[in-house]
Amino acid sequence: MTLKQLTNMEECVYFTNRTIGNGKIKAWVIKELCPKCNKALMSKPRDPKTGKPKIRAIEYACPECHYQIEKEEYEDSLTINVQYTCPFCAFQGEIQVPFKRRKIQRINEETRKKETVDVIRFKCQKCNRDIDITKKMK
Ligand SMILES: [Zn+2]
Ligand SMILES: [Zn+2]
């Protein structure tokens, strides 16, 4: 399997480079073509005055045919490319999984309180244990 390489930050929906325990994860998600016309990458709509993408927009739009899709629905349809060193068995692998966030409950290490976090979960191709990429908390 070959990962889709990231060539341009403009095409990037999500990027992370972090250590988890004894492991490491580098992961990225690349925009895909409009599902309607297949001509252009779906992007955040641009502000007509400034021409800059509206980062907080809750939808993506096709610059060619103006098809719009809700942000979460679009992002769920994408694929995340992951390069990892497994925190459990130190295996180094590459994997592609759906960029679908799932909610898990865990204990926050600092506050000791239960919290719900969004993660992308995949299995190590060698030891088969779950590895979670936590969506960064603010
Ligand atoms: Zn289109
Ligand atoms: Zn492993």
Which ligand places an atom closest to the C-alpha of 124?
Answer: 2
- 73-90 average pLDDT score: 95
For the ranges 7-11, 47-51, 83-87, 102-106, the maximum mean pLDDT occurs at: 83-87
Q: Which residues surround ligand 1, an ion (CB under 5 A)?
A: 34, 36-37, 62, 64-65, 67
Mean pLDDT for the chain overall: 91
- 8-17 average pLDDT score: 88
- DSSP letter, residue 46: B
What is the distance in A from the centroid of ligand 1 to the CA of 13? 18
Asked whether the predicted pLDDT for residue 28 surpasses 90, the reply is: yes
What is the distance in A from the centroid of ligand 1 to the CA of 89? 44
What is the pLDDT at residue 138? 42
Each residue's pLDDT tens digit, 46-72:
888 888 888 888 999 999 999 999 998
Provide the phi-psi class of 10: left if phi over 0, else alpha when psi is between -120 and 50, else beta. alpha
What is the distance in A from the centroid of ligand 2 to the CA of 23? 9
Asked whether the predicted pLDDT for residue 100 surpasses 80, the reply is: yes
The beta strands (E) that lie in the chain are given as: 12-20, 23-30, 59-61, 68-70, 79-85, 92-98, 102-107, 114-123, 130-134
